[in-house]
Amino acid sequence: DVKVTQSSRYLVKRTGEKVFLECVQDMDHENMFWYRQDPGLGLRLIYFSYDVKMKEKGDIPEGYSVSREKKERFSLILESASTNQTSMYLCASSLLQAGTGEKLFFGSGTQLSVL
Amino acid sequence: RKEVEQDPGPFNVPEGATVAFNCTYSNSASQSFFWYRQDCRKEPKLLMSVYSSGNEDGRFTAQLNRASQYISLLIRDSKLSDSATYLCVTLGGGFKTIFGAGTRLFVKA
């Protein structure tokens, strides 16, 4: 069965801390994504990667960075956490099927609270 | 204006009812369309793709109207287990996947 695993389900950090969110997929997918989900706003794309060591900014990359050193792992980094980064973070992967769009497989999410 | 807009609901319906959700998108270059389902405190999961000719999967029917730039999802004979948030999703050029904020559905016994 397809699996996207996020390292933590709940995380509490203090303002100014450096935060690492890890995501691992076992489907050999090229594409990986990081979203945040906030009430009333839906899912917003932070960063995505379509290959190892490749990354592209999404809609809201400010305050975040990413790392993709291996195909199966995509890390989201909050360099200096702030309270407005309190959110649900969802990792996803996909194998782009030309002409048919793509199916996204999501991890179970990390609820991050920054105090 | 949001790129993908949905009525947030909630829709409260009795078991057995038929319920319809609409979604509008602003980017006429959008290529693919999907409905995802998200249960409370869970991750989104693909419910069905939406094709130009319309498509049906059991009790679920999805329609696309490119001229008016809207997508619909019809659920017939609602079950308690259909209670969830339904996310409208469009795929534009490249890897630009846009999610709507979702419509909440509560099905009551």
- pLDDT digits 0-9 by tens, B24-75: 999 888 888 999 999 998 999 999 989 888 899 999 999 999 999 999 999 9
pLDDT digits (tens, 9 = 90+) for A91-111: 999 876 544 557 889 999 999
The answer to whether the CB atoms of A43 and B99 lie below 8 A apart is yes
Tell me: pLDDT of A73 over 80: yes
**Residue A99 pLDDT:** 46
pLDDT band at A1 (very low <50, low <70, confident <90, very high): low
How many CB atoms sit inside 10 A of residue B35's CB?
A: 23
Residue B29 forms contact with A (CB below 8 Å): no
Residue among A34, A40, A58 nearest B102 (CA) = A40
**Cα end-to-end span (Å), chain A:** 37
**Residue B3 pLDDT:** 86
Give A80: exposed, middle or buried? Use CB within 10 Å, 0-12, 13-18, 19+: exposed
Greater pLDDT, B98 or A90: A90
Residue A103 forms contact with B (CB below 8 Å): yes
Q: Which residues contact residue B86 at a Cβ distance below 8 angstroms, ignoring those fewer than 6 apart?
A: B6, B21, B35, B36, B37, B38, B47, B73, B102, B103, B105
Residue among B95, B100, B92 nearest B31 (CA) = B92
Q: What is the distance between the alpha carbons of residues A108 and A7, in angstroms, rounded to a whole number? A: 10
pLDDT digits (tens, 9 = 90+) for B3-18: 899 998 999 999 999 9
Q: In B, which residues are within 8 Å of A106 by CB distance?
A: 43-45
pLDDT band at B78 (very low <50, low <70, confident <90, very high): very high
Residue B32 forms contact with A (CB below 8 Å): yes
The answer to whether the CB atoms of A106 and B45 lie below 8 A apart is yes
SS3 A95: coil
The answer to whether the CB atoms of A106 and B34 lie below 8 A apart is no
Percentage, residues of chain A above pLDDT 70: 92
B46 bridge partner residues: B36
- Nearest CA of chain A to the CA of B38: how many Å? 11
Residue A90 forms contact with B (CB below 8 Å): yes
Residue among A91, A100, A108, A99 nearest A29 (CA) = A91
